[in-house]
């Protein structure tokens, strides 16, 4: 199957009207008035973000979700996306179809359509990028920079599942479906975007690692953040794993620095907190302080040193 057949046969079917049937190089969009536009771009690299040789529907979903995650952490509603696929040569029709089935599944979940992109080929690694366009009522987007001393630090979902999933992929841990699923197809809290924009003073999605991303928020907000490592929510499977580790606190450090969680870290003003926890499933993990940087403790007042807060690319 050639490049143009792939576009016409598979991609055009999942494109929105803004994409002009993918027969143009551009999308044309009339933004609804009274809305701000939130835009993000995220890239997945073979051998870095996914396993060498993987190209399937799950990968398409991961590409969608790492991008959706960025905008819903701001409280915004995804509407369209652009996709750059730099593919290996000789992918079969059924492989391409499988990938597109994953795209279509997630488009339906997240209420967005394909608006355009670019398809290229190389003999190097596969590199997939998406740019996501989302809308939000004027001035309601939640930034990283709004955390204030006294705010309560919370997270959605559970932390560390994707880290343990990666250990399985790398052959360091036995198979466990829940962790693998969290690693391959993350589940950003799409349903919470309305509550995020209602309650959060600052928010971001956790991709580099909980501690690294808390550090990003602390720097952008010019505050300190204290995190109680024992309060960080973990799944049942992870709890079992933790209880089998010789040094639980060191094991917890792995979970909060592993990244790929695609849950939301949010700061909530103290006077909003009670109502917020009634309205949305989040867990308190710490507080915002007048200090600088991120300080971790074990819940008994003992400070825990974290050497490497998360993943960096170079």
Residue numbers 128-157 binding its own copies by CB under 8 A: 129, 131, 133, 138, 141, 143-145
Give 5 or 303: the residue with its C-beta nearer to its own copies: 5
Site for its own copies in 84-103 (CB under 8 A): 84, 86-87, 89-90
Helix 248-257 / helix 236-243 crossing angle, nearest 10 deg: 140
Contact flag: residue 265 with its own copies (CB under 8 A): no
Contact flag: residue 307 with its own copies (CB under 8 A): no
Give 130 or 153: the residue with its C-beta nearer to its own copies: 130
Strand partners, 304: 296
Q: Residues near 172 by Cβ (< 8 Å), separated by ≥ 6?
A: none
Give 207 or 289: the residue with its C-beta nearer to its own copies: 207
Give 26 or 191: the residue with its C-beta nearer to its own copies: 26
Give 143 or 297: the residue with its C-beta nearer to its own copies: 143
- The whole-angstrom separation of Cα 86 and Cα 106 is 20
Contact flag: residue 173 with its own copies (CB under 8 A): no
Contact flag: residue 122 with its own copies (CB under 8 A): yes
CA atoms within 13 A on the CB side of 50: 25
Closest CA to 161 of 254, 48, 294: 254
- Part of the chain binding its own copies (CB under 8 A), chosen from 78-86, 186-194, 248-256, 258-266: 78-86
Q: Residues near 277 by Cβ (< 8 Å), separated by ≥ 6?
A: 154, 284
Among 41, 137, 239, 274, binds its own copies (CB under 8 A): 41
Contact flag: residue 127 with its own copies (CB under 8 A): yes
- The whole-angstrom separation of Cα 65 and Cα 149 is 31
- The whole-angstrom separation of Cα 257 and Cα 220 is 19
Closest CA to 121 of 16, 21, 42, 4: 4
Among 10, 46, 226, 268, binds its own copies (CB under 8 A): 46
CA distances to 97, 135, 187, 218 from 78, rounded to whole Å, are 24, 7, 15, 26
Site for its own copies in 203-262 (CB under 8 A): 204-205, 207, 216, 219-220
Give 234 or 267: the residue with its C-beta nearer to its own copies: 267
Among 118, 191, 290, 308, binds its own copies (CB under 8 A): 118
């Amino acid at each position: 199957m050639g490049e143009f057949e792939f576009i016409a046969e598979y991609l055009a079917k999942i494109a929105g009207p803004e994409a002009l049937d993918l027969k143009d190089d551009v999308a044309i969009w009339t933004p609804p008035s009274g809305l701000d536009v939130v835009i993000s771009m995220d890239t997945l690299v073979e051998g870095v973000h996914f396993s060498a040789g993987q190209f399937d529907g799950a990968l398409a979903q991961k590409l969608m979700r790492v991008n959706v995650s960025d905008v819903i952490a701001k409280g915004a509603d995804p509407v369209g996306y652009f996709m750059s696929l730099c593919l290996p040569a000789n992918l079969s029709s059924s492989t391409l179809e499988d990938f597109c089935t994953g795209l279509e599944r997630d488009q339906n979940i997240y209420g967005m359509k394909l608006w355009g992109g670019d398809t290229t080929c190389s003999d190097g690694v596969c590199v997939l990028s998406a740019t996501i366009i989302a809308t939000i009522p004027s001035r309601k987007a939640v930034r990283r920079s709004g955390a204030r001393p006294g705010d309560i630090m919370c997270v959605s979902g559970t932390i560390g599942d994707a880290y343990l999933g990666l250990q399985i992929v790398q052959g360091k841990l036995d198979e466990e479906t829940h962790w693998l699923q969290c690693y391959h197809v993350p589940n950003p809290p799409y349903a919470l975007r309305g509550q995020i924009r209602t309650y959060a003073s600052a928010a971001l999605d956790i991709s580099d690692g909980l501690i690294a991303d808390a550090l990003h928020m602390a720097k952008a907000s010019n505050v300190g953040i204290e995190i109680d490592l024992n309060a960080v929510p973990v799944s049942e499977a992870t709890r079992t794993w933790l209880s089998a580790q010789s040094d639980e606190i060191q094991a917890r450090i792995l979970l909060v620095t592993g990244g790929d969680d695609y849950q939301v870290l949010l700061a909530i003003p103290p006077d909003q907190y009670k109502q917020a926890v009634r309205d949305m499933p989040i867990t308190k993990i710490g507080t915002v302080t007048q200090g600088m940087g991120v300080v971790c403790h074990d819940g008994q007042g003992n400070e825990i040193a974290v050497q490497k807060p998360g993943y960096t690319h170079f």
